[in-house]
A = this chain, B = another copy of it.
Amino acid sequence: MTGVITDRLTTIGADDLEALARGAAVLGTGGGGDPYIGRLLAAQALREHGPVRLVHPADLPDGAVVFPVAMMGAPTVMVEKTPSTERIGAAVAALAEFLGVTPTHIACIEAGGVNSTFPLVAAAQLGLPVVDGDGMGRAFPELQMVLPTLSGIPCTPMSIADEKGNIGVLNTVDNHAAEALARSLTITMGCAAIISNYVMSGAQARESLVPGTLSLCTRIGRRLDRVRAEHGDAVAAVADELGGRVLHAGKVSDVARRTLTGFARGTAIISGTAPMADPASRSAAGDLTLEFQNEHLMAVRHGIVEVTTPDLIVVLDTDTGEPVTTEALRFGHRVTVVAAPTDERWHSPGGIALVGPRYFGYDTDPVRFDARERP
């Protein structure tokens, strides 16, 4: 994200979770699941087992056996049916037994949302360190949408467990098939399941993960706290941490949602407000239209595409800088939209094929966050 990570964390304890979860919601770009649930579960585990050690990918030994852990399913269901954390161990154990290996590290496959905190539960329970990094550098909705796919790392063998005690191990011909089969199991399991997949060596993790994203999330969360305590510009602080810029500020004037094939799809219109405190950094005129499918994927103004996936489109409460999920967008809400760069690897042809706007059904080429001049 910001290039150089200046203040790396070396452990994550219960006291770090609030900041981590808030930063994860920022990287969630509107989706990624409710970090609050992951935070609750992680807080319990970290209080019981003590802090978890964080290992930067650069410090991983080649022979490390890294087990990513995640929740799969509909965020709305996870809120109502909090996953039983016992089953995390079962998911990891089933996969370890299937592969005949012993995990040495736990990792996050997704930095945005619930899956930045959820793996901490596994790490705390199993007494393993967590990799300070993730497979996306943000949130995306499907299993194959991770940088390890671009590195040729298979999603499977993967395990999938529900809270009732059912478990499956999948071995698929490619990562898209893993998504399709695991998705159907997740739906039958009640729309929330625990998965472990993309098992990789330390060398593979160094190559394919986005480094430092748990530190970045925590830093964003803490800076938000600090700026608010000092009555500073919270939105500008987030944009700064992400290396992004404010794209638009205004009021939510329209939200249209539909739930299609298990995803929350829709459109939100943010009417412009003017004049702004800092006209140079905020676009004042016109409406900005956001297209989302779990995450915000495209921002359009006056019929011109301003920015698209894979770059980050983050909606923040204008007053508090608090991230707003696509589900929480409400008429009249005063929000500021920040655009920020994604990991550069997502802009490769393979990356665009996986997570570019056309994959999500938008008939446009990808537009980078800085491709258009400010008005």
Q: Is A150 interfacial (CB-CB < 8 Å)? A: no
Q: Is A281 interfacial (CB-CB < 8 Å)? A: no
- A171 CA / B168 CA spacing, docked (Å): 6
Identify which of B166, B180, B183, B184 contacts A177 (C-beta below 8 A). Answer: B166
How far does the Cβ of A254 sit from chain B's closest Cβ, in whole Å? 35
Residue of B nearest to A170 (CB): B168
Q: Which of A178-193 contact B (CB under 8 A)?
A: 180-181, 183-185, 187-189
Task: Note all chain B residues with C-beta closer than 8 A to A171.
Answer: 94, 166-168
Q: Which of A152-203 contact B (CB under 8 A)?
A: 164-173, 177, 180-181, 183-185, 187-189
Interface residues on A, range: 20 to 34
- A45 CA / B205 CA spacing, docked (Å): 45
Identify which of B168, B173, B183 contacts A181 (C-beta below 8 A). Answer: B168
- A98 CA / B94 CA spacing, docked (Å): 10
Identify which of B166, B169, B181, B183 contacts A189 (C-beta below 8 A). Answer: B181
Residues B173 and A170 in contact, CB atoms below 8 Å apart = no
How far does the Cβ of A261 sit from chain B's closest Cβ, in whole Å? 12
Residues A166 and B184 in contact, CB atoms below 8 Å apart = no
Residues A169 and B166 in contact, CB atoms below 8 Å apart = no
Residues B164 and A173 in contact, CB atoms below 8 Å apart = yes
Task: Note all chain B residues with C-beta closer than 8 A to A185.
Answer: 181, 184-185
Task: Note all chain B residues with C-beta closer than 8 A to A180.
Answer: 188
How far does the Cβ of A37 sit from chain B's closest Cβ, in whole Å? 24
Identify which of B166, B183, B184, B187 contacts A170 (C-beta below 8 A). Answer: B166
How far does the Cβ of A61 sit from chain B's closest Cβ, in whole Å? 29
- A94 CA / B170 CA spacing, docked (Å): 11
- A98 CA / B98 CA spacing, docked (Å): 7
- A148 CA / B165 CA spacing, docked (Å): 21
Residues A181 and B169 in contact, CB atoms below 8 Å apart = no
Interface string of A97-110 (1 = CB under 8 A from B): 01000000000000
- A184 CA / B171 CA spacing, docked (Å): 16
For A168, A171, A185, A189, the residue with the greatest tally of chain B CB atoms inside 10 Å of its CB is A168
Residues A165 and B169 in contact, CB atoms below 8 Å apart = no
Residues B172 and A169 in contact, CB atoms below 8 Å apart = no
- A353 CA / B243 CA spacing, docked (Å): 63
Task: Note all chain B residues with C-beta closer than 8 A to A177.
Answer: 164, 166
Residue of B nearest to A168 (CB): B170
How far does the Cβ of A50 sit from chain B's closest Cβ, in whole Å? 32
How far does the Cβ of A180 sit from chain B's closest Cβ, in whole Å? 5
Residues B169 and A173 in contact, CB atoms below 8 Å apart = no
Residue of B nearest to A178 (CB): B166
Task: Note all chain B residues with C-beta closer than 8 A to A169.
Answer: 98, 168-169
**19 A-B residue pairings within 8 Å (CB atoms):** A98-B98, A164-B173, A164-B177, A165-B172, A165-B173, A166-B177, A166-B181, A167-B172, A168-B169, A168-B171, A168-B181, A169-B169, A181-B185, A181-B188, A181-B189, A183-B188, A184-B185, A184-B187, A185-B185
Give me 19 other A-B pairs in contact (C-beta within 8 A), A165-B173, A167-B171 excluded. A94-B171, A98-B98, A98-B169, A164-B173, A165-B172, A166-B170, A166-B172, A166-B177, A167-B170, A167-B172, A168-B168, A168-B170, A169-B169, A180-B188, A181-B188, A184-B184, A184-B187, A184-B188, A185-B185
Closest A-B pairs by Cβ, 8 of them? A184-B188, A184-B184, A165-B173, A166-B172, A169-B169, A168-B170, A167-B171, A166-B177
